[in-house]
Every structure is written in structure tokens, then in C-alpha cells.
Amino acid sequence: MALPAFPNPVNETSARVVAGGVATMAATAIVADQPWLLAPLTYGFAARVLAGPTFSPLGQLATRVVTPRIPVRHRLSPGPPKRLAQGIGLGLTAAASALVLTGRRRGAYRLLGVLVAAAGAEAGLGFCAGCKLFALAMRAGLVPETVCEECNDIWARPRSARAARSTDGTSRPAAGLATT
């Protein structure tokens, strides 16, 4: 049995909803001193890295419940940079989990602080730090252009055209598209 593919393109509204959930959970873990919240955070990132929102409770909530109810024009963005962003989140939460397990909560909460800042920037401003790193890696030749030919196409198009395109290139609303 093969895992579902990571979505490409990704609905930005759903990505921002997921980021808001991540920021809220991570901030709660820090402020309320609840390191157990690292378990669902780490699982969620791992699930989203593997298959987008398919196995992520937060991803499912965002794509199936919240996003369809938000009355905005949904924009699309390339999937591979969002997948990198999820991978970075997985690395941060896994490292924070390891720190908690070795009795270093303060260090874990510092890593979660970085996650709160990054996820908060995505949720509130639409700024995806992982996506910016992906673009830099492409420009530096670290990521071959074949990995993300759609990235070049999407980033070259005006935003209005991106919002109306789907995975098969036809024009239709993007509300139902998956996210990271």
C-alpha cells in the first residue's frame, strides 16, 4: 500500500489554518508548561511530511472543516516548499522532544519558541520561512529544478492566476485543495 502523494499545489488558506493550530499548540506547551503537547505536534508534522493532510488531524480539520467556511479567494502555492517547511517543523519538534526526554525543558521550549514564531508568521502574515529557504536552495543549485518545475511556474504567474488554477491546470475554485 502506497502513501497518498503530498499535495501540489497547496491551498494557502489551509496552510495558514494549520500553521495557526501549530502556533497555538506550541505556545500552549510553553506557557502552560505542557511538554506532552510535543507528541501530537511531532506526529502531525511527520504525518504532513509523509502525505500532506491525509493522516494529520489538524490537516483534516483545516482542509475539511475550517477552510471551506472561510469566505476568501483561496490562493495556491507549490507543494515541495511547503513539504520542506513541514520537515523543518518535524525536525524542531523531534529535537524538542529529545530535549524534554533528557530533562532539558528550557532548551525544548526555546526550540518551540522558534516554531511559534515561524508558524505565527505563516498564519498571520502568509510568510513561509521554509518556502523562502526552498527558493534560496533552488537558486543555489541545491534543489534541482526538476524537483519543483511547478514552483517556477507558480511563482512566475500573477497571484490572481495562481488562485484560479488547480492541479490539472484547469480553472476552478481552490477551496477544496489539500494543504500541508
The H-assigned helical ranges of the chain are 12-31, 38-51, 57-60, 79-101, 105-125, 129-139, 149-156, 159-164
According to the model, what pLDDT value does residue 23 have?
98
Which residue do the cell numbers 507528541 mark?
Answer: 39
Residue 42 placed within a domain: yes
Residue 176 placed within a domain: no
Conformational region of residue 115, where left means phi above 0, alpha means psi within -120 to 50, and beta covers everything else: alpha
According to the model, what pLDDT value does residue 166 have?
39
Name the domain count of the chain: 1
According to the model, what pLDDT value does residue 151 have?
66
Residue 147 placed within a domain: yes
According to the model, what pLDDT value does residue 146 have?
80
Which residue do the cell numbers 483545516 mark?
Answer: 62
Residue 5 placed within a domain: no
DSSP state of 34: -
Residue 69 placed within a domain: yes
> Distance of CA 21 to CAs 2, 91, 96, 158, Å?
28, 18, 18, 29
Q: Which residues of 60-81 are buried (b: 16+ CB within 10 A; e: fewer)?
A: ebbbeebbeeeeeebbbbbbbb
According to the model, what pLDDT value does residue 170 have?
34
Per-residue confidence of the chain (180 residues) as pLDDT tens digits?
Answer: 676 888 999 999 999 999 999 999 999 999 999 999 999 999 999 999 999 999 999 999 999 999 999 999 999 999 999 999 999 999 999 999 999 999 999 999 999 999 999 999 999 999 999 999 999 998 898 988 888 776 655 545 555 444 444 333 333 334 444 545
Cell of 12: 494557502
Residue 1 placed within a domain: no
According to the model, what pLDDT value does residue 179 have?
47
Domain span holding position 136: 10-164
According to the model, what pLDDT value does residue 95 have?
98
According to the model, what pLDDT value does residue 148 have?
75
Residue 170 placed within a domain: no
Residue 65 placed within a domain: yes
According to the model, what pLDDT value does residue 145 have?
81
